[in-house]
Structure 1
Amino acid sequence: MVASARELWRALEPLHGMIYFAPEAHDRYTALGLDHTAGYFASRAAALGPVSAEVVIATFYNFNPALVRGAIPSAWEKTTPQALLAARADAADAALRRGLGELAERDGEIEELAGLARRAAEHACTTPHGRPLFAAHAAQPWPEQPLRVLWWAQTLLREYRGDGHLTALLTHDLSGIEALVVHSGSGEIPAESLRRTRGWATEEWDAAVDRLRERGVVDGDGVLTEAGRELRERVEALTDQLAEGPYSVLDHTDRDRYTHLTRPLTTTILTAGMIPHKKPPTKN
């Protein structure tokens, strides 16, 4: 069976996602004068330039605007977008080398996988329309070292899919906080974790639950109803559809090779605990 866009994205996502938890990133952002929250928002938004809080609120979608405004634009008074882009790239390289150990030194395999991921990412760059966060990243120069190329390619593919996901949420009339409630209602991530990390007050969260309950999406405990599960499936299906384009340049053999090369890297990253609450895939 040919790997789908979702499967290919999930296969490599931990190699990008670890940057949000890596001490190497926190240390570099701190050196630039940013705390944890400002470091997250400013480093991910840096490709957009020294933008306003409103731009970050719009493109990041599910964070409490007050949380964003506490970090942006004041972060730009302490450092520059280019300094943050460089710090983030250096942090990713250092964190991956720490987490992967000797796997990071398998130059032939890393270069091959980076080449496949870059092909998909470069194809994504031909259709940036309606994807502002992706387009901003796509405008940045490519690194040269294979491990950095691999991380950057997945960064582009992640933001491409993410922008498309926002389109899917808007299409199905889900606000940022409502999307979080739906996610927690699936049972995948505790509601308290999503509420706290996105900066929402309990009262705001409860109000979103009430709105979705009135729509028949969740029950009184915030758990997805049958209609809610169907809604989430439609959102994810549209997200997958909108994310398929970049991978269309990879044929069956390419996709098999992609997943084969990715598996030991992802397993190692997750086994090392570099992404909290995510476990490595079980062996069949």
Structure 2
Amino acid sequence: MVLSARELWRILEPLHGMIYFAPEAQERYAALGLDRSAGYFASRAAAMGPVSAEVVVATFYNFNPVIVHAAIPAAWEKATPAALLEARLDAVDHALRRGLGELADDVSELADLARVAADRARLTPQGRPLFAAHASLPWPEDPLLVLWHAQTLLREYRGDGHLAALLLEGLSGLEALVVHAASGEVSVEGLRRSRGWSEEEWAAATEGLRERGVVDAGGGLSESGVELRARVEGRTDAAAESVYAGLGAVERERFVELARPLSRAVVASGMLPFAKR
């Protein structure tokens, strides 16, 4: 069986996702005068340049605009996008080497496979603004950073497609979070607090989805809600599948074989606080 785009993305995602929690990143952003929240928004948005808060709200989608406006554009007065991109990549280098140990020295083959997919994604940036911004950045030279950059591109490519799928279903950023939490895969509190929404705002969105028949009386997904979520995920998968077309079945199996121990090491290091060890 040929592994899907979702499986290939998910197996390597811990290597990208750790940058949002690694202390190395927080230290470097703090050195630039930014707190954790501003560091997150500015470092991820920096590839787009010193954009407005409205652009970050649009491309990040599910964060409360209030916390975005509290961070952007003030962050650009303290650190330039170029400085943030440099700080982020330096943090990636140090954090991954700490988390992976000796595994960090043997990633060239996997980096090459991931870059095949990422380079294919670069051919179709239309409708994917956050991906396109990151795709415009130069490739690092070190294989470990090539691997991280490739997974970053694949993540943002998939993410932009996911937002399009949410829009087609008429789900706001907050409603998308409620649906995700209602699936039982993640906690309500974890999503609500990390994205800056109040209990009252969350409750109002939940009630609206209940009236639409998406969420049931117990707070879980209704049958209609399960179908809606399946459509969103299916469209997201379909929109991302083509980027892995350059990898055949054997190469995809090899991709997973090489990626699995790296992701497990990142999770075991504790850099992803919500991941199961």
Q: Same fold (TM over 0.5)?
A: yes
Equivalent residue runs for 1:173-184 within 5 Å: 173-184=170-181
Within 1, Cα distance between the matches of 2:201 and 2:75?
A: 26
Q: Which moved more, 1:47-56 or 1:188-197?
A: 188-197
| Deviation digits for residues 39-96 of structure 1 (CA, Å, limit 9, x no counterpart) | 0000000000000000000000000000100000000000000100011011011100
Task: Say how many residue pairs are matched.
Answer: 277
| Deviation digits for residues 247-271 of structure 1 (CA, Å, limit 9, x no counterpart) | 0111111101100000110111112
TM-score by length of 1: 0.96
TM-score by length of 2: 0.99
Matched, 1:113 2:110: yes
Q: Which residue of 2 aligns with 1:58?
A: 58
Shift, 1:215, TM fit: 0.8
Q: Which residue of 2 aligns with 1:192?
A: 189
Q: Which residue of 2 aligns with 1:2?
A: 2
Within 2, Cα distance between the matches of 1:159 and 1:102?
A: 28
Q: Which residue of 2 aligns with 1:227?
A: 224
Q: Which residue of 2 aligns with 1:150?
A: 147
Q: Which residue of 2 aligns with 1:45?
A: 45
Within 2, Cα distance between the matches of 1:222 and 1:177?
A: 15
Matched, 1:268 2:232: no
Instruction: Decide whether the 8 Å contact of 1:181 with 1:191 is kept in 2.
Output: yes
SS in 1 for 2:245: helix
Matched, 1:160 2:152: no
SS in 1 for 2:71: coil
SS in 2 for 1:51: coil
Q: Which amino acid is the alignment partner of residue 179 of structure 1?
A: A
| Deviation digits for residues 84-138 of structure 1 (CA, Å, limit 9, x no counterpart) | 00110110111000000111122xxx00000000010010000000000000000
Shift, 1:10, TM fit: 0.2
Shift, 1:187, TM fit: 0.8
Q: Which moved more, 1:3-12 or 1:186-195?
A: 186-195
Q: Which residue of 2 aligns with 1:98?
A: 98
Within 1, Cα distance between the matches of 2:172 and 2:14?
A: 26
Q: Which amino acid is the alignment partner of residue 144 of structure 1?
A: E
- Listed as ranges, the gaps of 5+ residues in structure 1 are none
Within 1, Cα distance between the matches of 2:28 and 2:217?
A: 44
Q: Which amino acid is the alignment partner of residue 7 of structure 1?
A: E
Instruction: Decide whether the 8 Å contact of 1:181 with 1:222 is kept in 2.
Output: no
Instruction: Decide whether the 8 Å contact of 1:160 with 1:243 is kept in 2.
Output: yes
Within 2, Cα distance between the matches of 1:271 and 1:91?
A: 19
Instruction: Decide whether the 8 Å contact of 1:25 with 1:92 is kept in 2.
Output: yes
Within 2, Cα distance between the matches of 1:8 and 1:194?
A: 24
Within 2, Cα distance between the matches of 1:112 and 1:105?
A: 11
- Listed as ranges, the gaps of 5+ residues in structure 2 are none
Within 2, Cα distance between the matches of 1:278 and 1:231?
A: 26
Shift, 1:221, TM fit: 3.1
